[in-house]
Amino acid sequence: MGLFNLRRPKPRIAKSTSVRYIDLKSAHKPYYIVASVEVGNTTTKCILTATNLKDGRAHMLTKIVKMTRDVRPPKPGEDVFGMTLAGVELTRESVAELVRDTLLEACASVGLDIKEDLHFVVRSTGVVAGFSTPDEVGKIVHALADGCLMAGVPPSRMTPALSRHNLPKKFQPYTHIDKVAFDGAVAGVSPPVGATGVDLVANEMEGELATAGIKEGAKWAGVDFRNPVISIDCGTTLDGRITNKDTPYAKTVGNFCGYAGAIADEIVKGTGAVDGRLGTALDLFSGSSGGISKIPKILKEKVIGTYRDEVLEHVVVEKVPMGRDRYGSVPVNPSSAEKMGVVLIGCDVGVNGDEFSHLRKVGHEVYTEHGAGALAGLLDVVMAEVVAMLLRTADELGLVYPETNIGITGRAGITGDKPALILENIAAMGLFDKPEDHVVFVDDGLARGAAVMARCMNSLGTPHNPIGGVAGGRCVMGQRMKLQRLQRGER
């Protein structure tokens, strides 16, 4: 299980460096500034990145994080179109105001003018896991756009450029829009053919962005994270993709869905130290350096292992069965997935969380009898094993190739001692001779993915340092050009 091994391979963790003290506004500096605005079940974020178009690396400018539960309550006359997993009600107006305020705060914190200095905004949401209909998803997408417009973002900064001349002059030398048009593929991966997101799995876009973000972040860690890949985003809900090694675009052959950080949150809710409905693991452990490495050996062996197994008795990881319309609270359509050649792998606690009470009971017992340190260690080993269960399931379904690279992002996959434990579990599975060369942990994968998506939408590529194609291979721009010519009926 990877709990007691003292000789662990060292995980590769990608954390970008800041460029706050570089003149981002200089006409001679090709920094492409993108805002990623995300409304999730637990947090609402605005992350500003500046990508150096000469080398394709994205640098973090700032990150503003708010708790989604703090969104203002609905006003009289407003339509409640959905809610988070914790039951926080959302209206189009309240979400728009939350997005506006978060975006304004992020830009002000680094002295950027939204209209003059911000080059693109990518919007995403993870709260669709708690929704019921495509109409509800559509309303929050509109709310995100409303918030950006209210903050002063020009509409043209949220849609692809039509030609080279629609981009600022300093970026025109770096676009390949005259050679290849944006055709929906992001970071060298095409989405499931015919998928609309909700029809296949509600958080398909989150999986797309996380995959793209890990591809970019891996460059900081020295891992060639190009196809075929497995990306796992352990936010409150689980998302991610499995790709094959086709060129010029890999196909999405697998999608993850269900619970991830919500598992840790439910364990923590049982402690009584956080709100029983809205509390999260972040409330108890934000900024904590605790984890399995801080726990006495006897406690690891006699206590943590036992409680880990007790939690995992209620965790189910499997190929999503036919007939399910939700898995781990996420709307899914396994029938559509099968027709598209996509395998849905889900993580649930009972059926749509109906066994969460057992997790809370464990959390209460560990916290009251052994303290917060033991609880932090328990969360680490539980989540590390959940990731291992996801990978074992993918392997059993024939979706892991010898060349596959694995990327992990999200709070429930990269905090504490989780990276070391996850890497140790992967080593124990025997998938690779040197797992540390195939596994990378990336912070803020979704925000990085937003920066990559903005570049893809405007054909701002770096052929000498590609993100698309297969690991170890060359840039696939020539293949893309040929494919698009054939699609236009040209030779």
Q: How many domains does the chain have?
A: 2
Q: How far apart are CA 102 and CA 46, in angstroms?
A: 6
* Per-residue DSSP letter, 83: E
Tell me the three state secondary structure of residue 295.
coil
pLDDT tens string 234-258: 999 999 999 999 999 999 999 999 9
Q: Is residue 342 part of a domain?
A: yes
Encoded amino acid at 446, one letter: L
Instruction: Indicate the helix (H) or strand (E) that contains 255.
Output: strand 250-258
Q: Is residue 473 part of a domain?
A: no
Residue 331 — φ and ψ, nearest 5°?
Answer: -60, 130
In sequence order, which ranges of 191-274 are alpha helices (DSSP H)? Answer: 204-221, 261-269
Q: 46: which strand partners?
A: 37, 64
Q: How far apart are CA 227 and CA 376, in angstroms?
A: 34
Residue 343 near residue 390, CB atoms below 8 Å: no
Q: Are residues 417 and 306 in the same domain?
A: yes
The pTM score is: 0.92
Q: How far apart are CA 12 and CA 295, in angstroms?
A: 23
Encoded amino acid at 422, one letter: I
Q: Are residues 160 and 277 in the same domain?
A: no
Instruction: Indicate the helix (H) or strand (E) that contains 120.
Output: strand 120-125
Q: Are residues 359 and 246 in the same domain?
A: yes
Q: Are residues 264 and 165 in the same domain?
A: no
Question: 54-78: b or e for each residue (b if 16 or more CB lie within 10 Å)?
Answer: eebbbbbbbbbbbebbebeeeeeee
Confidence check: pLDDT of 436 > 70: yes
Name, in order, each residue with C-beta under 8 angstroms of 430's C-beta and a sequence gap of 6 or more: none
Q: How far apart are CA 363 and CA 259, in angstroms?
A: 17
Question: 341-377: b or e for each residue (b if 16 or more CB lie within 10 Å)?
Answer: ebbbbbbbbeebbebbebbbebbbbbbeebebbbbbb
Give residue for tokens 């992002």: 409
Q: Are residues 276 and 398 in the same domain?
A: yes
Look at the chain and count its residues. Answer: 491
> What local confidence, expressed as pLDDT, does residue 309 receive?
95
Q: Are residues 209 and 61 in the same domain?
A: no
Name, in order, each residue with C-beta under 8 angstroms of 33's C-beta and a sequence gap of 6 or more: 24, 48, 49, 50, 61, 112, 117, 118, 119, 120
Q: How far apart are CA 19 and CA 50, in angstroms?
A: 8
If we measure between CA atoms, which residue out of 128, 123, 47, 118 comes closest to residue 447? Answer: 47
Q: Is residue 87 part of a domain?
A: yes
Residue 231 near residue 186, CB atoms below 8 Å: no
Q: Is residue 54 part of a domain?
A: yes
C-beta atoms surrounding 48 within 10 Å: 25
Which tops the pLDDT comparison, 5 or 41?
A: 41
> What local confidence, expressed as pLDDT, does residue 191 receive?
83
Q: Which two tokens stand for residue 34?
A: 């993108």
Q: Are residues 150 and 223 in the same domain?
A: no
The whole-chain average pLDDT of the chain stands at 89
Write down which residue in 447, 471, 486 finishes a domain: 447
Q: Are residues 168 and 296 in the same domain?
A: no
* Per-residue DSSP letter, 94: H
Q: Is residue 167 part of a domain?
A: yes
In sequence order, which ranges of 289-371 are alpha helices (DSSP H)? Answer: 297-299, 305-312, 334-339, 356-370
Q: Are residues 244 and 121 in the same domain?
A: no
Give residue for tokens 């269960």: 389
Q: How far apart are CA 287 and CA 303, in angstroms?
A: 24
If we measure between CA atoms, which residue out of 379, 381, 315, 326 comes closest to residue 349? Answer: 315
Q: Are residues 171 and 215 in the same domain?
A: no
Q: Are residues 127 and 255 in the same domain?
A: no
Domain containing residue 25: CATH number:
3.30.420.40
pLDDT tens string 187-241: 999 988 654 444 688 888 889 999 999 999 998 888 899 999 999 999 999 999 9
Q: Is residue 140 part of a domain?
A: yes
Instruction: Indicate the helix (H) or strand (E) that contains 100.
Output: helix 92-109
* Per-residue DSSP letter, 332: B
Percent of the chain scoring above 70 in pLDDT:
91
Q: Is residue 125 part of a domain?
A: yes
Domain span holding position 439: 204-447
Which tops the pLDDT comparison, 51 or 408?
A: 408
pLDDT tens string 344-401: 999 999 999 999 999 999 999 999 999 999 999 999 999 999 999 999 999 999 999 9
Beta-strand runs (E) in 126-240: 189-190, 229-234, 238-239
Residue 114 near residue 48, CB atoms below 8 Å: no
> What local confidence, expressed as pLDDT, does residue 108 receive?
95
Banded pLDDT at 296 (limits 50, 70, 90): confident
Q: How far apart are CA 42 and CA 236, in angstroms?
A: 7
Encoded amino acid at 324, one letter: R
Q: 139: which strand partners?
A: none
Residue 24 — φ and ψ, nearest 5°?
Answer: -70, -20
If we measure between CA atoms, which residue out of 129, 107, 112, 117 comes closest to residue 39? Answer: 129
pLDDT tens string 467-491: 999 999 999 999 999 999 888 887 6
If we measure between CA atoms, which residue out of 244, 218, 239 comes closest to residue 229? Answer: 244
* Per-residue DSSP letter, 47: E
* Per-residue DSSP letter, 11: P
Q: Are residues 337 and 398 in the same domain?
A: yes
Q: CA separation (Å) from 228 to 209, 231, 487?
A: 16, 10, 25
Q: Is residue 233 part of a domain?
A: yes
User: In which region does residue 133 sit, left (phi positive, over 0), alpha (psi from -120 to 50) or beta (all else)?
Assistant: beta
Residue 213 near residue 456, CB atoms below 8 Å: no
Banded pLDDT at 127 (limits 50, 70, 90): confident
